[in-house]
Structure 1
Amino acid sequence: MTEAKGIGATIDLATKLSRRGYNVNPHLPARQILDGAELADIVAQLKDAGVERVFVLGGDAAEPVGIFPDAVSLLRALSEMGAPFDVGVTGYPEGHAKIPDEALWAALEAKAPFASRIVTQMCFSPETTLRWARDVAARGINVPIIVGVPGPVSRQKLIRISAGIGLGQSARFLQKQKGLLGKFFSPAGFSPNQLVGSLADSLPGSGTNIEGLRLFTFNDVAGAESWRQKTLATLH
C-alpha cells in the first residue's frame, strides 16, 4: 500500500485476505506508525486474523508520523512485544539513492537479529546480487536471503518502476543498454527467465545464503502466476 493510503488500508486488506485463507505478508512501514499503542493495535488485528508473517521497512515518508523513524526502532518494539511475527527486512544489492552504503550496512547489521529473512530490492545483474550476498555473509550476517525478481511486465512499466524506487545501475541499464535488451525482453515485454537462470547457475559454491526468490508482480498477479506455473512445469 502507498503512503497516501496509510497503514490502515494495508492492515484492512491483509486481515480480509488472511481470513479468506490467503497466506499474506503485510508491509509495516515504520514511519507510518504513530506510537506503541497503534503498533499494539496493528499486532492485535493481524494476530486475530491469523497473520504470521510481516515485512518491516522504514518507509519513504519524508518525516515519521510518530516515534518510529526507521525499521530498527519498529523491530525493537515488536521484539519487546514478544516477537509476534516471522519478520522480513530489506536488502539493497545496488545500494539506495538516498542512503550511503555504510549506513545501509549498519542498518542491516542492526536489523539482522530480529529478522528471519532478508528480501532484496530488484536488481538486473546477477553478479551484483551475488557479490552483495557474499558481502552479507562476510559481515557475519547469517539470515536467509530472498532475491527480489521482477515478474513479467512491459519494458516501459519496468523502467518507470525501477527509476521510481531508486534502482541506479539497473534503471540505467534498462534505459541505455539497448543493444542488450534482448537478453531480458521479448516482444511481449520483460521475462524473468534469463535473470533467474543466471542466478540459479551461479549459486552452487557461491558462498551466499540465498535461499529463494520473491516475484514482484506489479499488480499483474495472473501474469506472474502464469509464468511461475510454466517455469515449474519445465523443471518436472
Structure 2
Amino acid sequence: MHHKEVHALSATPELTSGERKPMLNTISPAMLLEEFSLEMTGKDVPGLEEAADLIPPSTRINVTFLGNENLETRLATSRAVHERGFTPVPHISARRLASRGQLEEFLGALRDQGTSSEVFVVGGDPHTPEGPYEDSLQVIQTGLLQAYGVHQVGIGGYPEGHPDISDAQLWSALTGKAAALREQGLEGTIITQFGFDLAPVFSWIERVRDLGIDLPIRIGVPGPAGIKRLLTFAARFGISSSAGIAKKYGFSLTNLLGTAGPDKFITQLTDGYDADRYGDLKLHFYTFGGLRATSEWITSFSEDQK
C-alpha cells in the first residue's frame, strides 16, 4: 500500500524555478480536503462498493501493485474504480517488472480498458530487481508511459526519509524524476509517505520548492484506524511516533486500544499553510481502517468545517 522505493543514485542538477501562479496565502481545512485522493488494494473492492456513495465523483483512487496479486487482479481493481465513476491511478512497481514486455503488457491492458490516463510509479520492495528496472526513474525514461496513454504520473516523496535509502539518494531521485517528467511532457504529482509529525513535512516541502520543483504535492495522511495498526505501519516505514508526536497527533502510546483520526494533523497543516512557501497542496489518504471508515470520516470532518 505504501511506496517503499529504491531511487536513482546519480547526481541530478537543481531545476530552474519557474513562475508560480498567485495563490491565497491561507487555506481552510475544507479547502484542503477538496479533491482528496485515496488508496486501495485488490482485496478492497468490496470496501469500495460500501464506500462509493460517500466518495465524490472522479476522486483519484490509487491502486497498489502488490507482489501477491496477478495482472488480472490489478486490472480488475482499476476497472472497478473506473466503473464506479472514480479515477483509477494504478501503481507500477519498477523492481517487480520482469521485463520491458511485462511493462508493455500491463500498460496495454490498462489502455484497452480505459484506465491508463494516470499512474503512480514506485521503485518497489524487492532488494534485487526482478527485471531491467532499478527504480521508477528508469520506467519514466522508457517513454512507454505516454505511448500507452498516460498523461499524469505520480511519484513518491519521503518527508521523514526512508529506512533503506540515504537522504542524498532520495533528493537526487526526486529531482531526477521531476526533470524527466518535464522533459517528456508528462504532468506530475508528488505523493508523500504518511506521518504523524508536521515539522518534517513543512521542512521537506520547503526544500522541494527551493529546488525549483513546483509539482503539486499530496500530503500522505492515515485515515482513521486502530492505534496499534497505525504504529505497526509507522514502524515498518520508519515513521516517527514518539510519545510527544503521538500526543500532538491525537493519541497516546499508553492507550493503544482506541482509534485515531487525522483531525489535529489536518487542522495544524492548514494553520501553518503559506501558499508562497508551500505551493499547491492536497491530501492523500492511506485507508488503514478501510475505505468506508475513511470516507465517513472525511464527510463528517468536512461537514464540521462548514
Q: TM-score, normalised by structure 2?
A: 0.69
Contact 2:107 2:145 (8 Å CA) reproduced: no
Contiguous gaps of at least 5 residues in structure 2: 1-64, 182-186
- Distance in 1 between the 2:100 and 2:300 partners? 45
- RMSD over equivalenced CA pairs, Å: 2.2
Q: Which of residues 104, 122, 142 is equivalent to 1:77?
A: 142
- Give 1:179 shift: 9.0
Which runs of no fewer than 5 residues in structure 1 stay unpaired?
none
Q: How far 1:33 sits from its partner (Å)? A: 1.2
**Are the structure 2 counterparts of residues 83 and 116 from structure 1 closer, same or farther at C-alpha, using a change threshold of 3 Å?**
farther
2:110 maps to 1:46: yes
Amino acid at match of 1:158: L
Partner of 1:65: 130
**Alpha-carbon separation, structure 1, partners of 2:250 and 2:94:** 35
Task: Tell me if 1:230 matches 2:300.
Answer: yes
**Structure 2 counterparts to residues 46-195 of structure 1, below 5 A:** 46-51=110-115, 52-78=117-143, 81-82=146-147, 84-85=149-150, 86-113=152-179, 114=181, 116-167=188-239, 170-171=240-241, 173=242, 177=243, 181=247, 183-185=249-251, 188-195=258-265
SS of the aligned residue for 1:215 comes to: strand
Q: CA deviation at 1:182?
A: 6.8
Q: Percent identity?
A: 27
Alignment match, 1:203: 273
Alignment equivalent of 1:30, drawn from 94, 105, 120: 94
Q: Distance in 2 between matches of 1:179 and 1:98?
A: 23
- Quote how far apart the aligned CAs of 1:8 are: 5.2
Question: How far is 1:66 from its partner?
Answer: 0.7
d(CA) in 2 for partners of 1:224, 1:194: 15
**Higher mean C-alpha deviation, range 212-221 or range 179-188:** 179-188
For 2:81 and 2:101, how far apart are their aligned partners in 1? 24
Q: Which amino acid aligns with 1:50?
A: G
CA distance in 2, matches of 1:204, 1:36: 42
SS in 2 for 1:28: strand
Where relative contact order (Cα < 8 A, 6+ residues apart) is larger, the structure is 2
1:3–1:61 contact (8 Å) kept in structure 2: no
Distance 1:43 1:133 in 2: 31
Please tell me whether the aligned partners of residues 94 and 128 of structure 1 are also in contact (alpha carbons under 8 angstroms): yes
Structure 2 counterpart SS, 1:134: helix
Q: Distance in 2 between matches of 1:95 and 1:200?
A: 23
Q: 44-53 or 136-145, which moves further after superposition?
A: 44-53
Q: After the TM superposition, which segments of 4 or more aligned residues of structure 1 sit over 6 Å from their partners? A: none
**Structure 1 length normalisation: TM-score?**
0.88
Q: 1:127 to 1:158 in 2, by over 3 A?
A: same
State the alpha-carbon separation in 1 of the partners of residues 223 and 119 from structure 2. Answer: 21
**In the comparison of the two structures, how many residue pairs are matched?**
230
2:249·2:262 contact (CA, 8 Å) conserved in 1? no
**Secondary structure of residue in 1 paired with 2:168:** helix
